[in-house]
Amino acid sequence: MLNSSKPKAMHICLPVLDNNGLESAVSPHFGQAPAHLIVTDTGEVIHYAEKSGCDHGSCTPVDVLARFDVQAVVCMGLGRGAFFRLRDLGVEVFQTEAATVAEALDAYRARELALMGEDGLCHGHHDGDCDH
């Protein structure tokens, strides 16, 4: 018998400022986002993970990604620690300037987003050290 199942959709995580599905505003920083939205590359919302009651560094969004088999992160910026943890997990990080999740997904599907490298990382969170 032939296996006629569709290929598994790719799971992508984006830091967001609100819970408006694909119209959620993309947060400028992965680790400092109030929430993270996990979607498929086809635009299905899988999970909304809100960070509440967390001090800086006490909640690690990277830990949530493994539970949902996330293969890519699309964000404006992130710190070195998150970048290297994601890389160690085999998660690709793409840089976007999109305002909404829908816009970022469109750019991702069109292969318009560049892979983030070490030169694009935030070096701290004081006095504008992040340029995004």
Q: Per-domain residue ranges for the chain?
A: 11-116
Distance CA 11, CA 9 (A): 6
Closest to 40 (Cα-Cα) out of 12, 21, 20:
12
Q: Please, are residues 129 and 123 in contact by the beta-carbon 8 Å criterion?
A: yes
67-to-28, 42, 46, 48 alpha-carbon distances in Å: 24, 19, 12, 13
pTM to 2 decimals? Answer: 0.82
Q: Which residue has the higher pLDDT, 132 or 13?
A: 13
For residues 77 and 131, give the distance between their C-alpha atoms in angstroms, rounded to a whole number.
Answer: 8
Q: How far apart are the first and last CA of the chain?
A: 51
Instruction: List pLDDT tens digits, range 62-100.
Output: 777 878 899 999 999 998 888 999 999 999 999 999 999
Per-residue model confidence (pLDDT) at position 127: 40
pLDDT at 56 over 70: no
* Alpha carbons 38 and 47: distance in angstroms, whole number: 5
CATH ID of 11-116, from 2.60.40.10, 2.60.40.1120, 3.30.420.130, 3.30.1490.100:
3.30.420.130
